[in-house]
Amino acid sequence: MMHWFRRLMPREERFFEMFARHAEAVMRGARALRGMLEGGEAVQRHYAAVLAAEDDADAVTREVVQAVRRTFVTPFDRGDIQTLIGRMDDAVDQMKKAAKAIVLFEMTEFDDELRRMGDAIERCAALLRETVPLLSAIGQNAGRINEYCEQIRRIEGEADDIHDAGVTELFRRAPPEGALRFIAAREVFDQLEKIVDRFDDAANEIEGIVVEHV
Confidence of residue 209 (pLDDT cuts 50, 70, 90): very high
Angle between helix 78-104 and helix 179-213 axes, rounded to 10 deg: 170
Domain that holds residue 120: 2-213
CA distance 100 to 65: 27
The confidence score (pLDDT) of residue 5 equals: 41
Q: What is the pLDDT of residues 167-188, one digit of tens each?
A: 998 888 776 656 788 899 999 9
Q: What is the pLDDT of residues 6-43, one digit of tens each?
A: 443 435 568 999 999 999 999 999 999 999 999 999 99
CA distance 90 to 98: 12
> For the domain that residue 129 is a member of, what is the CATH number?
1.20.58.220
Measure Cα distances from 20 to 10, 129, 131 in Å: 21, 7, 9
Number of domains into which the chain is organized: 1
